[in-house]
């Protein structure tokens, strides 16, 4: 495990404080465990407070001892939730001076309603201090990755490439989707994968990804992606099933790996024998789309432009109906940011006009879905640099063909 130095976290806090001053907020209340780790270096239970200037404090319910060992900022034990406001008044007297009402930003997109109601009541006190939505602020802060973060994503990419190569060497007709995924996951876990891919979206879960063969990969699901997979049943309605893999059908291997908290996201298509002509042509089109996305992935390019270009390419190929899903289940994006969560910003989608910047890490995943037949496609992850994209994905970029 590689642990970043204290300055890594202090630099992030400094950037957050700059955003707070620009927005006119008095501080940021950090509640989500991923954001707590991002800003303090510890994922223990509690709340962190970042003022617009000065030192941040991590108020910890449990484990205080572990937080003190891990945190890059000062740790204070938080005995009860009711003690939180008085502790803030003690530690940041300027915030509530002379009954002044403070404006404190927080991550409303991930804060449970009940917890928000309690915190809002406590923060209000007797002076009318309020919590405001700072979700976009923290998400934009995390869009730009440091060299440490990029290095962790590359470590996850290397583990994924090795595990995939080992697993596909054992791929054979009659093997189940579940068995193939279990073989991939074994290789990933032995290389440090934490066993899940963290997401921000409410009710969206990702274990390691999905392996789907033939029509099972093309079955619709609630998962917000072009291919969710059949799953193991209504209680696990995505990813792998117990379906056996047959010769001549596409096998979509959409997997990730999380090492030291940071994820890689990639897709490769495999087949035992050969793909039917129509599916083979669609696969080649997915490769053409990712090549064009690479050409456009320059600093200053609006994120939505990459999606618009992909839509146009799919239409010219006569594959609009199959691009990124099918029918009502088509998703409206080409790619997404990756980092501590799978679904970070920027999003390569219509309406997300933020220009690409150096340091952004993005997964680009053009895929084509054919109901009853399967899904083909490719996905690479990149970091945007001053000179364009640098690919982070390490797996060989080719159709995996098993004789």
Query: What does the DSSP assignment read for 17-34?
Result: HHHHHHHT-SEEEE-SHH
Whether 224 and 102 map to the same domain: the answer is no
Residues of the chain falling short of pLDDT 50: none
Give the CATH number of the domain where residue 98 resides. Answer: 3.40.350.10
On whether residue 1 sits in a domain, the answer given is no
Q: Do 106 and 132 contact (CB within 8 A), yes or no? A: yes
pLDDT score, position 1: 76
Q: Tell me the C-alpha distance between 328 and 23, whole Å.
A: 39
Closest residue by Cα to residue 233 from 219, 249, 246: 219
Q: What is the phi/psi pair of residue 95, to 5°?
A: -70, -35
Whether 300 and 390 map to the same domain: the answer is yes
On whether residue 33 sits in a domain, the answer given is yes
Q: Tell me the C-alpha distance between 294 and 309, whole Å.
A: 11
Question: In the block, which residue shows the tokens 């509640």?
Answer: 31
Q: Tell me the C-alpha distance between 342 and 34, whole Å.
A: 12
Choose the final residue of a domain: 141, 175, 195. 141
Whether 150 and 131 map to the same domain: the answer is no
DSSP 346-390: EEESTT--PBP-TTBEEEE--EEEETTTEEEE-BEEEEEETTEEE
Whether 14 and 148 map to the same domain: the answer is no
Whether 235 and 272 map to the same domain: the answer is yes
Tokens encoding 71: 């945190």
Whether 164 and 149 map to the same domain: the answer is yes
pLDDT score, position 54: 96
Give the CATH number of the domain where residue 350 resides. Answer: 3.90.230.10
Whether 298 and 169 map to the same domain: the answer is yes
Whether 92 and 34 map to the same domain: the answer is yes
On whether residue 223 sits in a domain, the answer given is yes
DSSP 58-100: EEEEE-HHHHHHH-SSEEEE---GGGHHHHHHHH-GGGGGGGP
pLDDT score, position 331: 97
pLDDT score, position 215: 97
Choose the final residue of a domain: 141, 171, 192. 141
On whether residue 384 sits in a domain, the answer given is yes
| Domain of 72, in residue numbers | 6-141
Tokens encoding 227: 């291919």
How many domains does the structure of the chain reveal? Answer: 2
């Amino acid at each position: 495990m590689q642990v970043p130095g204290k300055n890594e976290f202090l630099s992030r806090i400094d950037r957050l404080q700059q955003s707070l001053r620009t927005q006119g907020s008095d501080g940021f209340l950090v509640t989500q465990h991923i954001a707590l780790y991002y800003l303090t270096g510890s994922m223990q239970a509690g709340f962190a407070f970042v003022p617009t200037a000065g030192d941040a404090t991590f108020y910890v319910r449990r484990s205080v001892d572990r937080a003190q060992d891990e945190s890059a900022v000062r740790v204070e034990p938080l005995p009860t939730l009711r003690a939180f406001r008085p502790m803030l008044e003690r530690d940041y007297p300027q915030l509530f001076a002379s009954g002044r009402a403070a404006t404190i930003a927080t991550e409303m997109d991930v804060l449970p309603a009940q917890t928000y109601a309690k915190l809002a009541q406590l923060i209000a006190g007797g002076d009318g201090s309020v919590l405001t939505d700072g979700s976009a602020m923290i998400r934009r802060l995390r869009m730009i990755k440091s060299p440490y973060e990029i290095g962790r994503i590359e470590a996850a990419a290397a583990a994924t490439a090795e595990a995939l190569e080992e697993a596909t060497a054992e791929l054979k007709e009659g093997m189940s989707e579940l068995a193939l995924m279990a073989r991939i996951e074994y290789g990933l876990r032995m290389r440090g994968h934490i066993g899940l891919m963290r997401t921000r979206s409410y009710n969206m879960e990702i274990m390691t990804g999905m392996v789907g063969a033939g029509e099972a990969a093309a079955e619709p699901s609630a998962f917000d992606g072009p291919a969710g997979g059949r799953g193991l049943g209504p209680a696990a309605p995505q990813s792998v099933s117990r379906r056996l893999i047959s010769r001549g059908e596409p096998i979509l291997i959409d997997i990730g790996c999380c090492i030291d908290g940071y994820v890689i996201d990639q897709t490769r298509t495999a087949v035992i024998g050969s793909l039917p002509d129509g599916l083979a042509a669609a696969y080649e089109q997915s490769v053409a789309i990712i090549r064009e996305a690479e050409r456009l992935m320059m600093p200053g390019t609006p994120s939505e432009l990459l999606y618009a270009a992909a839509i146009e390419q799919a239409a010219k190929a006569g594959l609009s109906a199959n691009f990124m899903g099918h029918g009502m289940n088509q998703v409206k994006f080409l790619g997404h940011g990756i980092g501590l969560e799978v679904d970070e910003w920027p999003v390569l989608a219509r309406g997300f006009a933020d220009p690409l910047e150096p340091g952004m890490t993005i997964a680009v995943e053009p895929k084509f879905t054919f109901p009853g037949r399967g899904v083909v496609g490719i996905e690479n992850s990149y970091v945007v640099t001053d000179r364009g994209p640098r690919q982070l994905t390490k797996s060989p970029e080719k159709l995996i063909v098993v004789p």
